[in-house]
Structures are given as structure tokens and as C-alpha cells.
């Protein structure tokens, strides 16, 4: 059964949103696009992967291929759906389905632009920076819009949303150091390392609590 898909849009969403959001490596991108070409673009959700064929198609050895497919599956781009005589059967997901999967583990449609405001929309980036008073939410370093990084209190990879209530402005250093740690843990670490005074630390914990309450209310 053929789907009514706007491929120009799908391609743009994949390149502009999915690749940076999931930090897809060049090889993963090549494999994802290759799989898309042989599934959704020909009207099927499924594709049978002859490992040898795919290996030749993207110039990769079989060993690496398994690893890359596993990574794509963990990132929600594909799902293993079993085996047949010819090889492994995969289901391939469109960008909007991937983003939605990241959000709630289902495959309903979401508004990509809203979901990924952190990466693209200049107006929303400015609004976020303004809300956090032109400072890094964690260390309170002053930030210009060009230095803005967006951090998610509940990591996207753990099912957190990219809505405003789950997003904070942060500096490059905090974004890098915090990693997947919980925001409250990271604030405590800054305090212990004397990068936040006791007063500032308490004030930041209150600010965090306020955001978390706002996020809970929206749910």
C-alpha cells in the first residue's frame, strides 16, 4: 500500500532535525537513507536486509553493519521485525515517527518544529534565553544568543520533552560537563566545586523546582 508522503519534507526533516538530534554518524546516515530508499519510498514499512547487499551499498563490512543497525535501532530509526530466508527484516521509521518515539514510545504524529525548537527556531531560542535572563541556567555565566546551548532537564533520550518547561539556556561548558546527569545533581556538583556560592546554589535549586512544577502542570 502506497503512503501519501511528501519526500522533500521528509528529507529536510531527516537532515535538519533527526541527524543533529540523534547525533547520527555519517555511516548511520548513509544506512538510514539507504533503508528508507528501499522501504518507505517504495511503499513498504519493511525492508529485508541482505547483509551482504547492504554492506556493498554503503561500503561497509558486515561486522560494522550489525553494529550500526543496532545503533540505529536503539535511536529509534529502525526496528527489528524478524528474519526470513533472505535476511533480517527491519521496519523503517520516518523522521516524525522517530521524534514521536523519542517523546512517548508511540508512533503518533507530532509537530516537529515545536518538538525541536531547541535546534532551529531563532524566536524560540531568544525566548528561552530571555526567560533565563541571558544567563546559563546552571553556572549563571552571561550568554549571548550565539553562545546559547539548550539543555533538557529530563534528557530527551530518557523520554523528556523539548518543550520550554523542560529546556534551559546553558553555556557550552555546562552543556558538555553535565552530560546525561540530572540537573539537580549537576547543580550540586557546581556548588561542591565552588563554582556556585551556597546562596546561589539554593536559588538555582528553587528555580529548578519551579520549572519542574510548571512541566508537571503541563502534563
Find the distance separating the first CA and the last CA of the chain, reported in whole Å.
36
Contacts of 75 (CB under 8 A, 6+ apart): 22, 24, 28, 98
Q: Which helix (H) or strand (E) holds 126?
A: helix 122-131
User: What letter would DSSP give residue 179?
Assistant: T
User: What residues from 158 to 197 belong to the interface with Zn ion (CB under 5 A)?
Assistant: 171, 174
Residue number, 99 or 174, with CB nearest to Zn ion:
174
CA distance 59 to 53: 10
Please identify, among the stretches 7-15, 54-62, 132-140, 194-202, the one whose residues bind Zn ion according to the rule CB under 5 A.
Answer: 132-140
Looking at 139, 148, 150, 190, which residue binds Zn ion (CB under 5 A)?
A: 139
Looking at 17, 32, 138, 186, which residue binds Zn ion (CB under 5 A)?
A: 138
User: Which residue's C-alpha cell is 525541536?
Assistant: 116
Looking at 115, 136, 183, 208, which residue binds Zn ion (CB under 5 A)?
A: 136
Residue 188: CB minimum distance to Zn ion, A: 14
Residue 126: CB minimum distance to Zn ion, A: 18
CB-CB neighbours of 147 under 10 Å: 14
Max CA separation in the chain (angstroms): 66
93 part of the interface to Zn ion, by CB under 5 A: no
Residue 135: CB minimum distance to Zn ion, A: 8
Residue 195: CB minimum distance to Zn ion, A: 8
Query: Could you list the residues that contact Zn ion (CB under 5 A)?
Result: 136, 138-139, 141, 171, 174
Amino acid at each position: 500500500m502506497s503512503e501519501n508522503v511528501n519526500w522533500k519534507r521528509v528529507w529536510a526533516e531527516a537532515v535538519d532535525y533527526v541527524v543533529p538530534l540523534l547525533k547520527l554518524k555519517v555511516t548511520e546516515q548513509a544506512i538510514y537513507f539507504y533503508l528508507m530508499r528501499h522501504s518507505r519510498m517504495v511503499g513498504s514499512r519493511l525492508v529485508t536486509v541482505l547483509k551482504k547487499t547492504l554492506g556493498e551499498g554503503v561500503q561497509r563490512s558486515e561486522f560494522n553493519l550489525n553494529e550500526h543497525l543496532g545503533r540505529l535501532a536503539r535511536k529509534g530509526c529502525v526496528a527489528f521485525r524478524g528474519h526470513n530466508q533472505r535476511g533480517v527484516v527491519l521496519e523503517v521509521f520516518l523522521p516524525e515517527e522517530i521524534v514521536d518515539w523519542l517523546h512517548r514510545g508511540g508512533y503518533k504524529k507530532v509537530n516537529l518544529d515545536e518538538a525541536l525548537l531547541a535546534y532551529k527556531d531563532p524566536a524560540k531560542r531568544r525566548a528561552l534565553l530571555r526567560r533565563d535572563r541571558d544567563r546559563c541556567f546552571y553556572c549563571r555565566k552571561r550568554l549571548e544568543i550565539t553562545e546559547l546551548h539548550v539543555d533538557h532537564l529530563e534528557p530527551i533520550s530518557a523520554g523528556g520533552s523539548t518543550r520550554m518547561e523542560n529546556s534551559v539556556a546553558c553555556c557550552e561548558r555546562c552543556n558538555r560537563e553535565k552530560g546525561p546527569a540530572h540537573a539537580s545533581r549537576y547543580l550540586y556538583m557546581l556548588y561542591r566545586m565552588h563554582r556556585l556560592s551556597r546562596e546561589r546554589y539554593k536559588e538555582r535549586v528553587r528555580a529548578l523546582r519551579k520549572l519542574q512544577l510548571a512541566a508537571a502542570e503541563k502534563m
